[in-house]
């Protein structure tokens, strides 16, 4: 249980006491962000990347990122896939939604989309986004997984999610 107590200083930060210490939130962190994940399946294998950024660095996830202002989740999934992999996606459709609270005290709602009509071709690695990519069967995923992906796989979608989308 968290008890909120406002402590405003020069930085505009708010301290929220909890059982083990104090967490500091800035004004920009007082609302959840919106993340987008693009589920890409080819020949029954899932395309995952090992994250290179600060947020959950070293974990494996689908291509994806932050929803930009004025952007639809579908456009975001296409854009992020192209930026992170060099692969063109013809379309994407919403298939799941997870509520993800991270150890780093970040909170996101993740919109999961199934990428359709993904172009064949080699993956282009952007070292600022990922250290490696791989194609994995659902029953042999690498570890550690990105917490949002773990939530999805553990059935924590806020809308019904058809797991068969992960194999076809």
Note the pLDDT of residue 164.
94
| CATH C-level class of 31-146 | alpha beta
Phi-psi category of residue 86: left, alpha or beta, with phi > 0 → left and psi -120 to 50 → alpha: left
The residues spanned by each domain of the chain are 1-30, 31-146
Going 52 to 55 to 61 to 62, the CA torsion angle's sign is negative
Q: To which H or E segment does residue 149 belong?
A: helix 147-153
Taking 50 as the threshold, does the pLDDT of residue 2 lie above it?
no
Q: Are residues 59 and 132 in contact, defined by beta-carbon separation less than 8 angstroms?
A: no
Q: Please tell me whether the overall predicted TM-score, pTM, comes out greater than 0.85 for this model.
A: no
The pLDDT tens digits of the residues spanning 28-60 come to: 457 899 999 999 999 999 999 999 987 889 999
Note the pLDDT of residue 5.
35
| Residue 168 pLDDT grade (very low, low, confident, very high; cuts 50, 70, 90) | confident
Phi-psi category of residue 10: left, alpha or beta, with phi > 0 → left and psi -120 to 50 → alpha: alpha
Note the pLDDT of residue 53.
80
Nearest-angstrom CA–CA distance, 63 and 88:
12
């Amino acid at each position: 249980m968290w008890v909120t107590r406002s402590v405003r200083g020069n930085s505009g930060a708010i301290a929220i006491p909890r059982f083990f210490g104090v967490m500091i939130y800035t004004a920009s962190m007082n609302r959840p962000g919106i993340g987008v994940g693009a589920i890409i399946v080819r020949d029954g294998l899932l395309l995952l990347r090992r994250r290179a950024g600060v947020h959950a660095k070293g974990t494996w996830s689908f291509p994806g990122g932050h929803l930009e202002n004025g952007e639809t989740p579908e456009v975001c999934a296409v854009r992020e896939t192209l930026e992170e992999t060099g692969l063109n996606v013809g379309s994407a459709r919403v298939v799941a939604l997870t509520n993800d609270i991270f150890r780093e005290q970040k909170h996101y709602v993740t919109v999961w989309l199934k990428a359709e009509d993904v172009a064949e071709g080699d993956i282009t690695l952007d070292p600022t986004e990922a250290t490696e990519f791989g194609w994995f069967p659902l029953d042999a995923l690498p570890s550690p997984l990105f917490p949002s992906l773990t939530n999805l796989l553990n059935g924590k979608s806020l809308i019904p999610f058809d797991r068969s989308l992960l194999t076809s």
